[in-house]
């Protein structure tokens, strides 16, 4: 416990807790990237805003698509807000659903300019339009019939699902690839590839699997992407109605001719989504088909297939997954969201790498991936409908930043996500949700590395303050101790100086007495003895203590002086027991003061021979001094000498208190009267005990 306490009060540990509190109370964002809402405006309910670089000059054009009666108006503006043209296209877009991109763009002929493709619905027919020359008033393609729809079920819900343009035929020109999917409007549910060059349309085999998106990847290794269909078992078409019904999920992969690469593989049972992707392994690419479900009876899992559709393994997760996102930064990472637990990030072997308990992936967008920083890596823009937030996930799915845009988004809200390209600067993010248009900037945080400096500075500042406070406190303590020590030394010196004159006055009185008695020889001896004692006092005037040996010698000289003064009227015996350390320091006059008191008050008034006995004993770190006389006792002495104030004993008591304060040595004195069996006074005994605070070094 003491060791733990010493750890927490260590000067380098103490600042940690206040540093954490300060950082929590004053949060400073030092994220590597910053996502910022830079603009918001309300637009008309019939207007749709989309941005894209159509001319190849590095600037995005602004495309405004407006619903009109029986036609759709398309207006294109350049980056200076100058109108190129307006094109009025036959049909309407209001009854079509564009869950990922309202217009589609692509460079079919490789001239560096992008064509703008748009679908409209007229009666029961879907038409394709293409604007390829912004300086020309007529569209390059107008009213190209694609397919009919129907029958309409509970509501019209035709979805246009885009894919990236690709050269499927090998003629050097890219085809426009897309899917048309009906929900309650069951037909069509097919993938199409339109050749602008040859004005031909390819169709996938008839199937009634409910499609959500198209994923493109090369599973065969021929250098051309196959089409992997993301779908959902919605139970609108039963097994009795068609082989490829939507009471099950299906692994469907289309080749370059839009035929099935292999016979579709059925996954019976309803699930939220079924999303196959291509995972690269050292042994070769495999299809990882992820079945995402929120049903407790069907845990989410990933099923692995080779290029021929044969199963090669599976992995089941204890998750109720409802979304998945795959990012390819050269070493693919996969994120799976469980709304109860958060988002789990896996490597390409589906080994868990990390988890975000507060991250939920939003809807999948055809153009959600884009290099927003110019570093060659793609970020993902995700719209969280339920939370009303937009976030950008970095290419390794190791962190993300977010911006709140509203409290809640309807699941039926129309989203149009696009990017505003600008030369020599990262693109801006354009997002239209119903009648609200938002613009965001995503950029590297120039102050990112200052975060380390900030946190280090907070800790260093608190550490410096702590060390400075401790230093000041210790210095004040040392100053206080030095002051108290000086005061104590002065007090000790004062008391010592009071004792010295006290003795000197008595000695001078004795000399005067002998001179009056005309005992000159005795007076001369007395003065010589006194001179020796006084010299001893002068030499030790600066000290408050001396060795026991020196104190004994001083006391013996004093006794000799007093014996001459009283004509040898008393005897004195000093006994030093074995084991007494004569080199140990003791307070000055600790023996002499009591001998003097015994002579002055006890023996002066005694009839007959007086006697003083001094005994020194030592027991380990405790020294005992016992002074015994056979005088008249304290009561008789007080009666005969009423002017006595016992000044010497009182000063010695103060002397001991100051000595203890300074040196921590505890000194006690005990004075007692001695009586015989009949109660007659036999003298006085003083016992002084010194308990040394430290052993002698």
More confident residue, 376 or 172: 172
Q: What is the 3-state secondary structure (H, E, C) of 328-360?
A: CCCCCEEEEEECCCEEEEEECCCCEEEEECCCC
Torsion of CA 353, 357, 358, 360, to 10 degrees: 70
pLDDT band at residue 645, thresholds of 50, 70 and 90?
very low
Q: Return the axis-axis angle of helices 647-663 and 450-516, rounded to nearest 10°.
A: 160
| Distance from C-alpha of 493 to C-alpha of 543, rounded to nearest angstrom | 8
pLDDT of residue 510: 67
- Distances from the Cα of 358 to the Cαs of 34, 252, 338, 343, 402, in angstroms? 18, 33, 11, 8, 11
pLDDT of residue 499: 46
With 50 as the cut, is the pLDDT of residue 141 above it?
Answer: yes
CA nearest to 505, candidates 602, 582, 382, 596:
596
Beta strand 96-97 pairing with 158-162: parallel
- Distances from the Cα of 387 to the Cαs of 277, 321, 586, in angstroms? 28, 18, 84
Neighbours of 221 (CB within 10 A): 9
pLDDT of residue 295: 59
| Distance from C-alpha of 697 to C-alpha of 692, rounded to nearest angstrom | 12
> Residue range 422-430: average pLDDT?
90
| Distance from C-alpha of 462 to C-alpha of 471, rounded to nearest angstrom | 14
| Distance from C-alpha of 389 to C-alpha of 381, rounded to nearest angstrom | 11
> Residue range 197-223: average pLDDT?
93
With 70 as the cut, is the pLDDT of residue 176 above it?
Answer: yes
pLDDT of residue 8: 60
> Residue range 305-317: average pLDDT?
91
> Residue range 244-249: average pLDDT?
92
C-alpha angle with apex 500: 498 to 505, nearest 5 degrees? 100
pLDDT band at residue 681, thresholds of 50, 70 and 90?
confident
pLDDT band at residue 53, thresholds of 50, 70 and 90?
very high
Token pair 């291509």 is found at 278
With 60 as the cut, is the pLDDT of residue 100 above it?
Answer: yes
The 10 Å CB-count burial string (b at 16+, else e) for 640-671 is eeeeeeeebeebbeebbebbbebbebebebee
CA nearest to 659, candidates 507, 533, 550, 499:
499
User: In degrees rounded to 5, what are phi and psi of residue 475?
Assistant: -65, -40
| Distance from C-alpha of 203 to C-alpha of 130, rounded to nearest angstrom | 19
3 state DSSP class of 34: strand
pLDDT of residue 164: 93
- Distances from the Cα of 10 to the Cαs of 3, 4, 23, 168, 467, in angstroms? 11, 10, 21, 71, 10
pLDDT of residue 266: 93
Tens digits of residue pLDDT in 9-24: 666 666 777 767 766 6
The 10 Å CB-count burial string (b at 16+, else e) for 185-196 is bbbbbbbbbbbb
More confident residue, 461 or 264: 264
Identify whether the C-beta of residue 77 lies closer than 8 Å to the C-beta of residue 151.
no
pLDDT band at residue 337, thresholds of 50, 70 and 90?
confident
Length of the chain: 697
pLDDT of residue 498: 47
Neighbours of 619 (CB within 10 A): 11
Identify whether the C-beta of residue 260 lies closer than 8 Å to the C-beta of residue 252.
yes
| Distance from C-alpha of 665 to C-alpha of 659, rounded to nearest angstrom | 7
With the C-alpha atoms ordered 545, 551, 553, 555, is the resulting torsion angle positive or negative? positive
More confident residue, 486 or 570: 570
Cβ-proximal residues to 296 (8 Å cutoff; 6+ apart), any chain: 320
pLDDT band at residue 452, thresholds of 50, 70 and 90?
low
3 state DSSP class of 383: strand
CA nearest to 689, candidates 637, 622, 634, 607:
622
Identify whether the C-beta of residue 99 lies closer than 8 Å to the C-beta of residue 42.
no
Tens digits of residue pLDDT in 270-293: 767 788 999 988 788 999 888 877
| Distance from C-alpha of 670 to C-alpha of 652, rounded to nearest angstrom | 12
pLDDT of residue 642: 57
Q: What is the 3-state secondary structure (H, E, C) of 99-132?
A: CCCCCEEECCCCCCCCEEEEEEEECCEEEEEEEC
pTM over 0.85: no
Identify whether the C-beta of residue 691 lies closer than 8 Å to the C-beta of residue 524.
no
CA nearest to 427, candidates 383, 379, 382, 373:
373
Tokens of residue 163, six digits: 């894919």
User: In degrees rounded to 5, what are phi and psi of residue 139?
Assistant: -65, 150
- Distances from the Cα of 559 to the Cαs of 347, 497, 543, in angstroms? 100, 21, 22
């Amino acid at each position: 416990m003491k060791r733990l306490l010493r750890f927490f009060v260590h000067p380098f540990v103490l600042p940690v807790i206040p540093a954490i509190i300060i950082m929590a109370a004053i949060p400073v964002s030092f994220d590597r990237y910053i996502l910022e809402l830079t603009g918001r405006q309300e637009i008309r309910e019939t207007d749709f805003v989309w941005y894209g670089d159509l001319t190849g000059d590095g600037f995005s054009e602004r495309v405004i698509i407006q619903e009109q009666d029986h036609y759709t108006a398309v207006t294109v503006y350049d980056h200076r807000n100058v109108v190129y043209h307006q094109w009025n296209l036959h049909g309407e877009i209001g009854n079509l659903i564009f869950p990922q991109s309202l217009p589609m763009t692509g460079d079919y002929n490789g001239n560096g300019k992008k064509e703008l493709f748009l679908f409209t619905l007229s009666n029961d027919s879907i038409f394709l339009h293409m604007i390829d020359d912004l300086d020309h008033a007529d569209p390059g393609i107008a009213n190209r019939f694609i397919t009919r729809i129907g029958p309409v079920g509970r509501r019209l819900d035709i979805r246009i699902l885009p894919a990236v343009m690709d050269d499927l035929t090998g003629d050097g020109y890219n085809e426009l690839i897309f899917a048309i999917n009906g929900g309650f409007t069951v037909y069509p549910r097919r993938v199409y590839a339109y050749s602008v060059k040859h004005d031909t349309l390819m169709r996938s085999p008839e199937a009634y699997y409910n499609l959500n998106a198209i994923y493109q990847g090369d599973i065969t290794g021929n250098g051309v992407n196959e089409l992997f269909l993301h779908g959902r078992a919605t139970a609108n078409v039963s097994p009795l109605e068609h082989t490829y019904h939507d009471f099950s999920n299906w692994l469907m992969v289309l080749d370059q001719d839009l035929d099935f690469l292999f016979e579709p593989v059925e996954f019976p049972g309803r699930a939220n989504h079924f999303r196959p992707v291509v995972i690269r392994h050292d042994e070769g690419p495999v299809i990882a088909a992820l079945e995402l479900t929120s049903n407790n009876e069907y845990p989410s899992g990933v099923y692995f297939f080779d290029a021929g559709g044969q199963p090669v393994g599976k992995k089941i997760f204890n998750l109720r997954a409802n979304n998945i996102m795959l990012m390819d930064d050269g070493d693919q990472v996969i994120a799976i969201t469980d709304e109860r637990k958060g988002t789990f990030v896996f490597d390409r072997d589906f080994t868990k790498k990390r988890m975000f308990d507060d991250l939920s992936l939003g809807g999948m967008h055809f153009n959600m991936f884009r290099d927003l920083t110019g570093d060659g890596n793609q970020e993902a823009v995700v719209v969280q409908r339920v939370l009303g937030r937009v976030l950008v996930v970095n290419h390794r799915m190791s962190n993300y930043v977010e911006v709140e845009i509203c409290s809640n988004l309807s699941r039926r809200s129309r989203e149009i996500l696009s990017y505003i390209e600008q030369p020599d600067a990262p693109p801006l993010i354009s997002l239209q949700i119903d009648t609200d248009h938002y613009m965001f900037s995503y950029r590297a945080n120039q102050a990112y590395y200052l975060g380390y400096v900030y946190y280090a500075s907070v800790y260093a500042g608190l550490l410096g303050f702590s060390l400075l406070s401790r230093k000041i406190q210790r210095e004040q303590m040392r100053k206080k101790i030095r002051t108290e020590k000086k005061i104590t030394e002065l007090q000790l010196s004062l008391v010592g100086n009071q004792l010295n004159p006290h003795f000197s006055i008595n000695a001078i009185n004795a000399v005067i007495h002998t001179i009056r008695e005309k005992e000159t020889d005795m007076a001369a001896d007395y003065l010589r003895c006194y001179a020796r004692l006084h010299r001893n006092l002068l030499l030790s005037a600066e000290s408050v203590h001396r060795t026991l040996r020196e104190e004994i010698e001083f006391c013996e000289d004093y006794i000799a002086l007093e014996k001459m003064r009283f004509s040898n009227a008393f005897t004195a015996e000093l006994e030093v027991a074995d084991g007494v350390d004569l080199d140990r320091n003791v307070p000055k006059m600790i023996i002499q003061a009591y001998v003097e008191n015994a002579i002055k008050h006890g023996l002066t008034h005694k009839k007959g021979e007086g006697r003083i006995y001094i005994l020194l004993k030592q027991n380990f770190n405790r020294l005992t001094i016992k002074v015994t006389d056979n005088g008249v006792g304290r009561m008789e002495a007080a009666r005969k000498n009423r002017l006595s104030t016992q000044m010497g004993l009182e000063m010695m008591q103060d002397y001991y208190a100051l000595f203890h304060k300074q040196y921590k040595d505890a000194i006690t004195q005990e004075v007692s009267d001695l009586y015989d069996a009949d109660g007659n006074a036999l003298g006085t005994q003083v016992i002084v005990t010194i308990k040394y605070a430290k052993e002698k070094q």
